[in-house]
Amino acid sequence: MPLSEESDPSGKRQKQPCTGATTAAEKAGTTDAQRAAAPAFFFFARFAGPLTLHRLQQPAPAANYLHRAAPRPQQRSAYHAQQPDRGSAPHPRQCCKPRLPDRRVILAGTAAGILLLAGVITLLLPSNKAVENVPVGTEQTAQAGRLVAPVPYADSDGSGNGGPSIDWGTIGPVQQAETYTYTAAPQAPDMVPEFGRVSTDWFSDAAFLGDSLTAGIAYYDINVGGALVLGYEGTSPNQIVNRTALKNTNEDDAEQVPLDILAEQQPAKLYLLIGTNALAGLGNDEGFLAYYGKLLDELQSTLPNSMIFVQSILNVRPEALDQAPGLTPERVGSMNDKIKEMCKERGFYYLNLTEAFTGEDGYLTADYAQNDGIHLTVAGYSHWVDYLCTHVPYNKNNPYQQGSTYYLSDELRQLIADLP
């Protein structure tokens, strides 16, 4: 052990062992001990915590540090200088480094947060109320039940007497004591809504009756599937009711009595559009409505097995009111409401054609009107036919176009041919 010089009471300097210095052998021994205890040391440091580890690695306090002599730098050979100090213990800061959360813990926390957020959103969303019991045959039934295909308004023969009565017999898992009968459709539809799209073959057994607006179908050679067109310029309901001989401009001005032609032809469908000439002047609305009602009665008696479609009177352009002051949007709308009620009473189909031809200003759309503001252009007639093709009462035998909601292939038609 190296010696240090220290004075004694006699004044003589004596060499004393230096407690602050260590020999190379002692240092080598200490390093070997540390190497031997390294596995147990790291195991203890992992579970005992950073604080305990730091305290264990601190060297034992040496007595009388103030009186120690500075240790001499240890001489190392060139070989030892190149070798790493394998016996040195890990730095306390490395052992005290905080542990990062496990990846599985992070994933579990993220999933729990997502589930919690989904639950909160579900609670905040409005809940769907249960659909109340609605009588079959109303408009609410189709909306509540979300039917794939709407229930037809009339029998397959188009009589308009309502759908066939269905005897449900017993309903529910328990035998019922009473028999319940439901009507599949209302007897008198207020207005035909949009149902798919049929081809113009639908009009192959139809007839069109009206004034010059109807005559334009044949004049412009509009494709209506070969339908019979009975259009007479300047005609009104009273002339048809009184069986006046009218000139058909599309038949070389041949004089015809429309009711006689219809009685002879017996079309399966009839489309009526009339009233513009009668309302052009300021006249008696009650007289107009009375003749209009008689015309509907005559058509019903003449065509008892036909589907009768009554189309609403069209508006005109504002500039046309100078020559037709009675065709204001207010008056036309009032007359159409009364006509709609007449159709409901008789079980006729009412088509709100006006809604498809009226612009935001309440008048006839300019793109569909000719210069006089009353008659239609070719684009207007195409729009007219397009509206009729999309407003047809549902029937599985209708010639729906391919791609339409209710289109059926020939194979499917054969499979359901026996169904009502």
Q: What is the pLDDT of residue 90?
A: 54
Q: Which two tokens stand for residue 407?
A: 């289109």
Q: Answer yes or no: is 178 within a domain.
A: no
Q: Cβ neighbours of residue 93 under 8 Å, at least 6 residues apart?
A: none
Distance CA 316, CA 179 (A): 54
Residue 238 burial (10 A CB sphere; 0-12, 13-18, 19+)? middle
Q: Residue 377 has which token pair?
A: 């252009």
Evaluate whether residue 388 is within a structural domain.
Answer: yes
Domain that holds residue 23: 1-55+89-96
Give the HSE-up count for residue 232: Cα atoms under 13 Å, Cβ half-sphere.
23
Extract the tokens encoding 214: 């109807």
Please report whether residue 374 resides in a domain: yes
CB of 393 within 8 A of CB of 386? no
From 70, 96, 122, give the residue that closes a domain. 96
Does some domain include residue 307?
yes
Q: What total of structural domains would you count in the chain?
A: 2
Q: Locate tokens 């195409």: which residue?
A: 382
| Predicted local confidence at residue 108, as pLDDT | 86
pTM of the model: 0.56
- Residue 222 within a domain: yes
Find the CATH number of the domain harbouring 211: 3.40.50.1110
CA–CA gap between residue 396 and residue 416 (Å, rounded): 9
For 337-353, b/e burial (b = at least 16 CB within 10 A) is eebbebbbebbbbbbbb
- Domain's final residue, options 96, 115, 149: 96
Rounded distance, CA 394 to CA 6, Å? 123
Report which of 277, 292, 269, 242 is spatially closest to residue 399, judged by C-alpha positions: 269
Q: Is residue 282 part of a domain?
A: yes
Give the Cβ contact number of residue 106 at 10 Å: 11
Task: Compute the radius of gyration of the chain from its Cα atoms.
Answer: 50
Do the domain assignments include residue 218?
Answer: yes
- CA–CA separation, 326 and 21 (whole Å): 126
Per-residue pLDDT of the chain (420 residues; tens, 9 = 90+): 444 444 444 444 444 444 444 444 444 444 555 554 455 444 444 544 444 444 445 555 544 444 455 555 555 555 555 555 555 555 555 555 556 667 888 888 898 889 888 888 888 876 555 444 545 444 444 444 444 444 444 444 444 455 455 454 444 454 555 554 544 444 445 678 887 899 999 999 999 999 999 999 999 999 999 999 999 999 999 999 999 999 987 777 789 999 999 999 999 999 999 999 999 999 889 999 999 999 999 999 999 999 999 999 999 999 999 999 999 999 999 999 999 999 999 999 999 999 999 999 999 999 999 999 999 999 999 999 999 999 999 888 889 888 777 766 666 666 666 665
Residue 322 within any structural domain of the chain: yes
Domain boundary among 96, 126, 158: 96
